[in-house]
Amino acid sequence: MSKYRYSEINRLTGKALHRYEMISDGDKIAVGLSGGKDSLTLMWFLNERLPRIPIDYELYAIFIDPGFEGSFSKELEEYCIEAGYNLIVEHTDNGPLAHSSKNRENPCFLCSRLRRKRLFEIADELGCRKLALGHHKDDIIETLFMNILYAGEISTMVPAQSMFNNMFTIIRPLAYVDENIIKDFAKDRDFPVFENNCPSGDNSKRKYVKTLLNELYKTNSKIKGNIFRAMSNVNTDYLLK
C-alpha cells in the first residue's frame, strides 16, 4: 500500500471529520455504497479508523441496486463479507423507471432522488442518524458548476448537512480529497472494479462538466484549489442582488 496515498487521504479525512464534527461516540452510521472507488475508499477508511481512535461507532453499508441488467450486487456482497462489512442490499427498478417513457424528468435526477430517498428510509430502519457519502473535492466543485449552468444558482454539496429538521445528517468525510488520490489508492488496494451499466453513464451532465473542468485545470495547476477555496470566500458585495 502506498504510504503517501494512505497518509494523504487519512490526513484530509481526519481534517474534514474534525472541522465539521462529523462523528461522535456511539454513532450508528449508514454508508451509501455504490460499488465505485469513492464509496469503497470511504468505507475502508471509516472502518480502518475504528481500532485506533478514542471514539466508537457502528457502520452499515447500504447498496441500492438500480435494477439494470448485469447487476453486480452479488459480487459486491461477497467483497463486503470478505472485508467484514455489514452490507444491506436493496433491489429496485429505479434505473429502468428513470429511463422509461413514464419519466419526464432528467433520468439521473430521478434515479438519484429515488436512491437517496431509499437510503434515508433504510438508515432510519437501522437506527442510523448519519448517512456517509463518498463525495470528494472534485464532486463538490463539479456540483457548483452544474448548479450554475443548469439550475441558475450558486450552491454545492457541503461536507456536513442536516436534513429533515435535524433528524439526519449527511456527512462527506472525503470532501477535501482529490479524486486522483482516491483513484490511485483504490488501484493500490486492488479494490474490485464494478461496471456501471447505466445507459446515461457516459452521457451525463456531470461528465460533461468534469471534462470542461479537467481541460481548465490543465492550463494552470492552481485553478482547482482556487475554485475550492472560493466557495468559502464569497464576497456578497460583488454579487447581483
- 116: domain CATH number is 3.40.50.620
Q: What is the pLDDT of residues 97-113, one digit of tens each?
A: 878 877 766 777 888 88
Which helix (DSSP H) or strand (DSSP E) does residue 184 occupy? helix 179-188
Tens-digit pLDDT profile for residues 161-215: 999 988 999 999 999 999 999 999 999 999 999 887 777 766 678 889 999 999 9
Looking at residue 132, its pLDDT comes to 98
pLDDT tens digits, one per residue of 134-175: 999 999 999 999 999 999 999 999 999 999 988 999 999 999
**Which residues lie closer than 8 Å to 143 by C-beta, 6 or more apart?**
156, 157
Cα–Cα dist 221/4, whole Å: 20
Report pLDDT for 68: 84
Assess whether pLDDT exceeds 70 at residue 231.
yes
pTM (predicted TM-score): 0.93
Using CA atoms, how far apart are residues 138 and 224, in angstroms rounded to an integer?
8
- Show the cell assigned to 109: 435526477
Domain that holds residue 106: 3-238
Residues 39-88 pLDDT 10s: 999 999 999 999 999 999 999 999 999 888 888 999 999 999 999 999 99
Could you give the CA distance from residue 195 to residue 173 in angstroms, rounded to a whole number? 25
Report the chain's terminal Cα–Cα distance, integer Å. 51
Mean pLDDT of 86-94: 91
Q: Tell me what pLDDT residue 195 has.
A: 80
Q: What's the domain count of the chain? A: 1
Top pLDDT among 4 and 47 is at 47
Write down the residue that cell numbers 466543485 correspond to. Answer: 141
pLDDT band at 234 (very low <50, low <70, confident <90, very high): very high
Average pLDDT over residues 4-26: 95
Instruction: Give me the helix-helix angle, 179-188 and 37-49, nearest 10°.
Output: 70
pLDDT score at 90: 92
- Characterize the bridge pairing of strands 27-32 and 130-132: parallel
Is pLDDT at 1 greater than 70 in this prediction?
no
More confident residue, 113 or 95: 113
